[in-house]
Chains A and B, each alone.
Chain A
Amino acid sequence: MSGFFADIMWSDIGLATLDTLVMVSVSLVLTVLIGLPLGLALFLTGPGQAWERRWLNVALSAAVNVMRSLPFIILLIVLIPVTLALVGTSLGVAGAIVPLVAGAAPFFARLAEAALREVDRGTIEAVQALGATTRDLVLRALLPEALPGLVAATTVTAITLVSYTAMAGVVGAGGLGDLAVRYGYQRFQTDVMVVTVALMIVLVQILQMLGDRLVRRLSRR
């Protein structure tokens, strides 16, 4: 490398990329673990569904809406005490996980709910007519039927998390966003900013491609 990119510390970029990958994957796993049950609850407690609970549905829905209406940057700051209590630090990769999951889980829950709504009403009813418990219905019908939609939702969420990690960089989370801000913005090293942004674009493309492929393989319609 020479010219424009001559002054870049490539090892820094490598480490930052790794940080971003760790943040995205760890928070994605936690987001799905929390968001999927939440999405199921939103769906099942809804009107006319197997576990209809009017007020629980209203409460869950309102809570999710509140979390989703907070700009992520605000969430990052507001959650600092919570993060400190949970992981002992609000800095670095570990400190970023809590706000990332808090921001992404409600988002994923809504996407999961939408994917579950796509499951054919007649199919759900037919499975209930077979004498299924709600558990049977969820595990043997709803989740398998909604799987392609849930994978698509996971892809969208992963990509959202990539941009969230960049924002988390602003409050010292590490990763590519942090690098872009520290070098590109604060020290006017435009070359670093260009490289980090390019890497994020590549990451997003790869995630989308993998997600789309998986959805295509799973679709049986």
Chain B
Amino acid sequence: MIRLEGVHKRFPGAGGAALDGVNLAIARGEVFGIIGRSGAGKSTLVRMINGLERPSAGRVTLDGVDVAALAPADLRALRRRVGMIFQGFGLLSSATAAQNIALPLRIAGTPAREVAARVAELLGMVGLTDHADKYPAQLSGGQKQRVGIARALATRPDVLLCDEATSALDPETTRDVLALIAALNRDLGLTIVLITHEMDVVRQVCGRVAVLHAGKVVESGATVDVVLDPRHAETRSLLAEEGGAPSYRHSFAGEIVRFTARGEAAAGPLISRIARETGTEIAILEGRVGHLGDTPYAQLTLGLSAGNIAAARAALAQAGVIGA
């Protein structure tokens, strides 16, 4: 549905290229993540999808239509089909929640009666019915982003672009907003492009992901594959940088292995079985266990001490993938 073909972007006066030959294809109805660190070119990339930015070379097409080639009136029409939410919310501070949500409808020339009904419906959808008449300054960050989402959905777009939509929110509010975004994808069939610098956001909602590094896509694929089996150094470093409490792996006296399992294997009592069957002491030093989409996974750092270490390693290698 959305295609980027050989997209380059160089800003006048800026040193290197912000985007350097990006190719991507995003399918209808998926939640596609784009992750990268600050300055990687993520915002530049999404902003091309609704024509806020034009490529210096290459093409960005939406349903086969070259976005940069559209006449102003057609571009405005396209923008009504493509909702966008922002890290900084971008709400009018002089307008209430309801008025902010009504704005795209007014711009589209919707009759006043329909506007009122649609705004009420949207406020309900994002759970802000009680806050309709509050100004942004009176709302929490999560509530502001819900207003932003409702505004983006007002004209019933079929694409939703999210540029760091949760970066200004705390972890719990982030989960709420991501759950709402996932529900929109599921219930309305919305195609969602989600920009983030947090791997955890990708894990929570994205079916597929592309890793952007210095203006290039260095890795892309299903989230399960990219997260559990990262190929590029940038992906690994993004994964490694996810905080978490410092583990005591460095003080562990014994053999340390990184172990990743997915599917059936990850769902069962794998570690305790291997420990028992091989008679090995296995300590879990670090780990993450959960689901990526429908796939259960376990990603663990294990410490093997007393017992049959070689047998334990062999058993682990059979159940999943082990690394250093």
Total interface residues in chain B, CB < 8 Å:
30
Interchain CA distance A127-B148 in the complex, whole Å: 11
B94 lies within 8 A of A130 (CB): no
Which of B82-90, B173-181, B266-274 faces chain A? B82-90
- Known contacts A123-B91, A144-B92, A144-B94; decide if A131 and B77 are in contact (CB<8 Å): yes
Nearest first, the 4 closest Cβ-Cβ pairs linking A and B are A126-B90, A131-B79, A131-B76, A122-B88
Interchain CA distance A141-B79 in the complex, whole Å: 17
B-contact bits for A121-137, CB 8 A (1 contact / 0 none): 01101111111110010
A125 lies within 8 A of B52 (CB): yes
Which B residues touch A136, using CB under 8 A? 106-107
B79 lies within 8 A of A129 (CB): yes
A-contact bits for B53-79, CB 8 A (1 contact / 0 none): 000000000000000000000011111
B137 lies within 8 A of A130 (CB): no
A-contact bits for B84-104, CB 8 A (1 contact / 0 none): 101011111111000000011
A-B contact pairs, 21 of them (CB 8 A): A120-B90, A120-B93, A126-B86, A126-B89, A126-B90, A126-B148, A129-B50, A130-B79, A130-B80, A130-B151, A130-B155, A131-B77, A131-B78, A131-B104, A132-B76, A133-B76, A133-B107, A140-B106, A147-B94, A220-B136, A221-B93
Q: Kindly state the interface size class of chain A when it binds its partner.
A: 20 to 34
Residues 113-148 of B contacting A (Cβ, < 8 Å): 135-137, 148
- Known contacts A140-B106, A140-B107, A221-B137; decide if A128 and B92 are in contact (CB<8 Å): no
B-contact bits for A98-130, CB 8 A (1 contact / 0 none): 000000000000000000000010110111111
* Most interface-central of B52, B94, B151 (chain A CB within 10 A): B94
Interchain CA distance A132-B108 in the complex, whole Å: 8
- Known contacts A131-B108, A221-B137; decide if A126 and B91 are in contact (CB<8 Å): yes
**Cβ contact of A145, chosen from B79, B94, B104, cutoff 8 A:** B94
Q: Interface SS of chain A: helix, strand, loop or mixed?
A: helix
> B248: shortest Cβ distance to chain A, in Å?
43
> A141: shortest Cβ distance to chain B, in Å?
6
Residues 254-278 of B contacting A (Cβ, < 8 Å): none
> B43: shortest Cβ distance to chain A, in Å?
10
Which A residues touch B76, using CB under 8 A? 131-133
